Amino acid sequence: MSQKRQWHGVEWSMFIVLSGAMLLGFLNVTLHAGEFGDIPHMMIYGGLLLAYGLPLLFWRPSYVNPTLFSLAVLATNAPLQIYLSWMKQEPFTIINAPIMVIGFLTDRKNAWWTAPVFTLIVPLGYLLVLHGPSAGDLFGEVLNAMLLFAIGLSLQRVVTSNVETEKLLAENQRQYQLIHEQNNVLEQYANQIEQLTLAEERSRLARELHDTVGHTFTSVIMGMDAVAYLIETSPDKAKEKLDVLRKVTRSGLDEVRRSIHQMAPKGDDLLLSVQLSRLAHEFAVHTGTQVRMETAGSEYELPKQTKLTLIRCLQESLTNAKRHGQAAAVEVALTYREHEIHLTIEDDGIGTEQLQAGFGINAMQERIAALQGQLEVLSSPAAGTRVSCTIPAKRLPAF
């Protein structure tokens, strides 16, 4: 089978040896011209050139065909060697260098015939034309041919091993380069993840602090307004109110600490309706706002993140209803459905014609969107504001 490849350094060395052997053949013919009978020297030179040049058509840089090279040597070198040996009546070995090249080019596909032909049949062929070759001569020429064939075969193994080593080295270098590039990509990705994590953590803290601090401060401010009124008319009630506000402030501080440490609100193991009712009741007591809450549907346990999101939505909605809407009454409805949970907060505040989403509403939107839910805020002048939160949910297994 032909191969389109460049010669290796070993092949160039064998080409030099082959060319040198052919020059020695020319020199031998020139020095022993009288031993070849009446055959014109030019015919012998032509035969040597043919034996040298024809095989090179099938073994040259960029093209190698081991089978045709071997056949060309067999068709030119072998007959010429046998003829010249017969004319001279002594071994005339012009095929030794080609045998080494054949050994180098031999593979499993052609070894079955090249090895016996060039290491046994060809040496025996040109020795049999001599007058009475001895057994030692026969053995020596066969051994010589086998040795040359083995040298070529060994050189082939060396070249093959070097080629495989070069390929392995190139592959290792390619893998190293790939790993290096992937490592750079991973480092960039890690840096991006770090930046995104920091940004997300800042956003989370901002949302949590906005909801907890805003809700607590609204309750405290409203309570302090009541204390300012009671301190003149009823000092004892004002003192009781201050004690309640102190507890609210401490509770708000604890909530801020939990937000910073990403902890769940106190009482997180309670049902959502209980937590929302407690939150609505505390807000009503501290701000003097009438808050009425209803729960519909069969209540089931929810994931902690869903519960926390709805709690924050109620905190923000109550705070906005009192701070911006100046509401006197708020209706809270919690509805459990088969595949979703629905929370509605509706107040009787002053409302607005053009609702502008601030940080609080945006924070609610982000929390709910993270759970694939929906937020709807509707407001109109003198008709109050309605906040609707819908989050997909499914019943958690009971343990």
User: Has residue 394 been placed in a domain?
Assistant: yes
Inter-residue contact 252 to 283 (CB < 8 Å):
no
Question: What φ, ψ does residue 73 adopt, rounded to 5°?
Answer: -65, -40
Instruction: Tokens for 346, please give them.
Output: 């509706």
Does a structural domain hold residue 265? no
The Cα 29–Cα 84 span in angstroms is 9
The model scores a pTM over 0.85: no
* Tokens standing for residue 197: 């994590």
pLDDT given at position 23: 85
What is the helix, strand, coil percentage profile of the chain, to 5?
65, 10, 20
Specify if 281 maps to a domain.
Answer: no
For residue range 141-160, what is the model confidence (pLDDT) as tens digits? Answer: 778 888 888 888 888 888 88
Q: Are residues 168 and 294 in the same domain?
A: no
**Same domain? 158 vs 296:** no
Which among 177, 15, 217, 20 has a CA at the least distance from the CA of 105? 15
How far is 313 from 333, CA to CA, in rounded Å? 13
**Given this model, what pLDDT does residue 238 score?**
67
118 found inside a domain:
yes
Instruction: Tell me which of 120, 144, 174 is where a domain ends.
Output: 174
The angle formed by the CA atoms of residues 369, 370 and 371, to the nearest 5 degrees, is: 85
Q: Supply the CATH number for residue 317's domain.
A: 3.30.565.10
What pLDDT does 333 receive? 93
Q: Single out the residue in 150, 174, 198 at which a domain terminates.
A: 174
Regions of the chain short of the pLDDT cut 50: 263-264, 399
Contact between residue 330 and residue 281 where contact means Cβ atoms under 8 Å apart: no
Q: Does residue 388 form part of some domain?
A: yes
d(CA 219, CA 27) in angstroms, rounded, equals: 118
The count of domains in the chain is 2
**For 365-370, which contacts have Cβ atoms below 8 Å and span 24 or more sequence positions?**
366/203, 366/207, 367/207, 367/309, 367/312, 367/313, 368/309, 368/313, 370/309
pLDDT value at residue 263? 46
What is the spatial distance between Cα 78 and Cα 332, in angstroms, rounded to a whole number? 109
Identify the domain boundary among 139, 158, 174.
174
Is the Cα torsion angle 128, 132, 134, 137 positive or negative in sign? Answer: negative
**212 within domain boundaries:** no
Which domain, by its residues, includes 45? 9-174
Token pair in block for residue 151: 């040298």
Residue 254, domain member (yes or no): no
Residue-level pLDDT at 388: 92
Task: State the pLDDT at residue 264.
Answer: 47
The answer as to whether 230 is a domain residue is no
Check residue 384 and give left, alpha or beta (phi > 0: left; psi -120 to 50: alpha).
left
